[in-house]
Structure 1
Amino acid sequence: MSTNDAKLLSQTNQGLYVGQAPPLWMSVLKGFILTLCCLMVVGPFVMVISTSLADPVQIGQGGGLVLWPQNPTLDAYRAILGGGKVTRALMVSVMITVGGTALSLVLTTMLAYALSRRDMIGGRVILMIVLLTMFFSPGMIPVYLTVKEFGLLDSLLSLVLPVAVSAFNVIVMRAFFMELPSELTEAARIDGAGEWRTFISIVLPLSKPIIAAIGLFYAVNYWNVFFSAVLYITDDSKRPIQLILREYLVNGSQMGVSDMDIAGEVLPPQPSLQMATLVVSLIPIAAVYPFLQKHFTKGMLTGAVKG
C-alpha cells in the first residue's frame, strides 16, 4: 500500500469514528428542533389545564383561553364532577373500559393460547379465519344489523361485544406464548396438570408483560369509543364521555345548570367548563400508562419476534 493510500484510509477512518463529537452548530440545531417540538406538544395541554383553572375575570380578559392562571380555582371541576351529564358519562366510560378490557383479555388470552398449541385440532384453520378478519371488514351496515338482531341497541354491551377480540392482539399474544419454553408445560403435564391448570398456573404468570401491553391497547380503545356509541346509543344516561366532549367542545353546546346538580349556583365560564371536561376525560386513561410502562415495551418487543 502506498503512502497516499495509507493517508486516505486514515482520514476516512477518522471521519467515520463513532466517538467523534458532532459540530457545535449541529447540537444547537438539534436542541432547538427538539425544544420546538416539545413546546408544540406540551403547549396545548398547558393551555387547556390553565383555562380550566382560571377565574372568570382572567378568562374574559384572555378571550376564552388562558396560558397561565393567576388565581387558580377548582370551581369548574366542582361543577362538572358534582353530578349531572359529565359525571354520569365518566361512570359509563369507566364501566365500559373496565368491563370491556377484562372480557377482552380473557377471550384474547384463551384464544391465543389455544392457537399457540401445535397439537390443537383445526388450529391452522382457526388461525386463518382470525387472519382473514384483519384484511376483510364486514362494513358498518352488516355490523349494525347484527347488533340490532341480537337486541343490543341502546345497551352498553353493544360497545363491547362487537369488538371484544382483536385479531391483531391475538396474533401478538400467540407469538408471545409460542416463545415460552415448552419444557415448562411438558413438566406440568408430567406432574399431572391439565390444560387449564397449565394455562392458569404456568402460562399466565409468565405472560404479565404481554397481558399488560394488550390490556392497555384494549383500555384505550374502550375509553375512546365514539363512533359505535353514536350508532348504537340513544339514551342520554348511557352516553360515554366522548359523546359529551363532542356535544360541548365540537358542537359548541352550552353547559347549563340543568346539566349539573348545582341548582341555585352561578356557573363558571363556558370555556373553563369545557376545558375541565376535556381534562377529566384525559386523566383516567393517562394515569394508567406509568403503571404499565415497564411491561409495555418488553411485552410488545417479545411478542413481535416471531409470527
Structure 2
Amino acid sequence: MKRKKLHISSNRIFDLVNYTLLFFMAAAVLYPLYFVVIASFSDPNAIYAGEVIFLPKKVSFEGYQMLFDEQLLWSGYWNTIRYTVIGTLINVVLTVCAAYALSRRKLPGRKGLTLFVTFTMFFNGGLISTYLLVQKMGMINSMWAVIFPVAVGPWNLIVARSFFETTVPEELHEVACIDGCSEIRAFISVILPVSKAIVAIMVLFYAVSHWNSYFNAMLYLTDEELYPLQLVLRNLLIQTDMTAMSTSGDMTSLAQQQRIADQIKYGVIIISSVPVLAMYPFVQKYFAQGVTIGAIKG
C-alpha cells in the first residue's frame, strides 16, 4: 500500500511540474502575440511609458486609421487573395501529380528524377539568371511572375511523394486499371479520394507561403496596383519610418511621429496575420499530419 501511495504521489508531482512548465511555455509564446494586439490600439505614449501590460490603455485607433486610409492597402489585399488562390491551385495540382508519379516504382528513371528534385533544394541558378528567365518569358510586371517561379516546391514534392509511397499501395492502382480505368481516371477517381490529407496539407503549406510572400513581387513587379499585401505593408512601414526621421521641428514632434510609426507597425502585424490565424483552426489537424508525414523516410 505504501508503494502504491508513493507511486500515486510521484505521478501527481510529475503532472504538476509538467503542467507548470507547459503553462509558462505557453505564456512565453502567447503573451507577445497578445501584447501586439492590445498595443495596436493603445495610445503610443502609454506603451512607451510601460503602462500597457495586460490591458490596453487610452484606446487610440490612429494607427489603424492611417493604414485603412491607404488605398493601396485594399488593392494589396485583393492581389494577395488572387495570387494565393490561383498560385495554390497551380502548386497543388503540379505537386500532387508529380509526387504520385514519382512514388510509383514502375516509373522509368524514377531515382534520377527524384535526385534531380532533391538537387534543386540545395542549388539553383541564382537571382540574376532567374530574373533573366522571367524577363525572357515576358512575365515581368504580371501576376505570373509571382506564381510560376515557385510553381513547385521541392520539399513539398518530396513530402507528398513519401505520403503516396507509404499510404497508397500499388495494388490499388492496378485494380483500378484492371477495372478499365485509364491512368488519369484512376488517379482522379481512385487515388485522390484516399489522399485528401496530403492535398489539404499542400493547400495549407502553399497558401501560407503565398500569403507571406513579397520578395518575388518586389523583384518582378513595377506597377503598385499589382503589389501584394505584404509588399504594400513593407513599403508603408518604410515610408512611415522615413517620415518620422525627416520630421523637422522640436524633439517632441519627432518623438510623437516615431510613436505613431510604432503603432502602425503593430497594426501591420495584425492586418497581415489575421486571415492566416483565422484559417488555422480549421486546418490544424492537417497541419499536425503534415509534420508527421514530413518525418517519414523518403
TM-score by length of 2: 0.79
In structure 2, the residue matched to 1:9 is none
How many Å separate the matches in 2 of 1:73 and 1:205?
50
How many Å separate the matches in 2 of 1:18 and 1:198?
56
How many Å separate the matches in 2 of 1:254 and 1:239?
21
Q: Contact 1:247–1:253 at 8 Å: present in 2 too? A: no
AA aligned to 1:59 is P
Which runs of at least 4 in structure 1 moved beyond 6 Å after TM superposition?
A: 17-20, 26-29
Gaps of 5+ in 1: 1-13, 256-268
User: Once the 2 structures are TM-superposed, how far is the Cα of residue 194 of structure 1 from its aligned partner?
Assistant: 0.8
User: Once the 2 structures are TM-superposed, how far is the Cα of residue 86 of structure 1 from its aligned partner?
Assistant: 1.4
- C-alpha spacing 1:83/1:243, structure 2 compared with 1 (3 Å): closer
SS of residue matched to 2:56: coil
User: Once the 2 structures are TM-superposed, how far is the Cα of residue 296 of structure 1 from its aligned partner?
Assistant: 2.5
- C-alpha spacing 1:210/1:135, structure 2 compared with 1 (3 Å): same
In structure 2, the residue matched to 1:215 is 203
How many Å separate the matches in 1 of 2:89 and 2:243?
36
1:44 aligns with 2:32: yes
Q: Contact 1:86–1:277 at 8 Å: present in 2 too? A: no
Greater mean deviation of Cα atoms: 196-205 or 149-158: 149-158
Q: Deviations over 1:275-302 (max 9, x none)?
A: 2232110011222221111222234424
Give the root-mean-square deviation of aligned CA atoms: 3.1
In structure 1, the residue matched to 2:220 is 232
SS of residue matched to 1:230: helix
1:98 aligns with 2:89: no
Greater mean deviation of Cα atoms: 26-35 or 186-195: 26-35
In structure 1, the residue matched to 2:48 is 63
What is the aligned residue count?
276
Write out aligned runs for 1:83-162 (5 A): 84-162=71-149
Greater mean deviation of Cα atoms: 146-155 or 195-204: 146-155
Of 214, 225, 245, which aligns to 2:233? 245
In structure 1, the residue matched to 2:173 is 185
1:292 aligns with 2:280: no
Q: Deviations over 1:40-72 (max 9, x none)?
A: 322222222113333xxx434443984422565
User: Once the 2 structures are TM-superposed, how far is the Cα of residue 28 of structure 1 from its aligned partner?
Assistant: 6.9
User: Once the 2 structures are TM-superposed, how far is the Cα of residue 126 of structure 1 from its aligned partner?
Assistant: 2.1
How many Å separate the matches in 1 of 2:49 and 2:130?
41
Question: Is the helix fraction higher in 1 or 2?
Answer: 2
Q: Deviations over 1:172-224 (max 9, x none)?
A: 11121122133322221121111111111111111111111122111121111
In structure 2, the residue matched to 1:276 is 267
Q: Deviations over 1:94-132 (max 9, x none)?
A: 111111111000000111111122222333332222122
How many Å separate the matches in 1 of 2:49 and 2:237?
13
Q: Contact 2:46–2:57 at 8 Å: present in 1 too? A: no
In structure 2, the residue matched to 1:263 is none
Q: Deviations over 1:234-260 (max 9, x none)?
A: 2211222222332333562559xxxxx
Identity value in percent? 35
Gaps of 5+ in 2: 245-259
How many Å separate the matches in 1 of 2:157 and 2:169?
19
AA aligned to 2:210 is Y
How many Å separate the matches in 2 of 1:130 and 1:84?
41
How many Å separate the matches in 2 of 1:220 and 1:290?
14
- C-alpha spacing 1:76/1:216, structure 2 compared with 1 (3 Å): same
In structure 1, the residue matched to 2:255 is none
How many Å separate the matches in 1 of 2:137 and 2:33?
42
- C-alpha spacing 1:176/1:293, structure 2 compared with 1 (3 Å): same
Q: Contact 1:108–1:165 at 8 Å: present in 2 too? A: yes
In structure 2, the residue matched to 1:200 is 188
How many Å separate the matches in 1 of 2:45 and 2:17?
39
How many Å separate the matches in 2 of 1:248 and 1:76?
12
